Amino acid sequence: MELNNSNAEMSVTERDYLEFVQRGDDFFKIELLRQAKSWYKKALELRHNGEDVKHKLAECERLLKYEQKVVYLLMATGSVLLVAYLFFFS
């Protein structure tokens, strides 16, 4: 009986793993990278050797770093434009 219980528990873990990966993929497709990253991390907690999920997680992190650089660049550009506007039109 112990063996059957262990197999059932393993299949639940596998099912959860696949569901977490699918949720991560769904969020990744619509470019909600922070949510995708969170679901991929949950999947890796269940299966540490999930190489495909590790690659997806790395891609999320790469894109989030790029996004952060773009935000900083836009903030800097906005600041320069604001200063120029105040300087020339005040």
Give the confidence band of 12 by pLDDT, cuts at 50, 70, 90.
confident
Q: Is the pLDDT of residue 1 over 70?
A: no
Of 23, 37, 27, 43, whose CA–CA distance to 65 is shortest? 37
pLDDT of the residue at 7? 54
Of 32, 24, 87, 83, whose CA–CA distance to 55 is shortest? 24
Count of structural domains within the chain? 1
Enclosing domain of residue 25:
2-89
- pLDDT tens per residue across span 32-87: 999 999 999 999 999 989 999 999 999 999 999 999 999 999 999 999 999 999 99
Segments in 30-50 forming alpha helices (H): 33-46
Q: Is the pLDDT of residue 10 over 80?
A: no
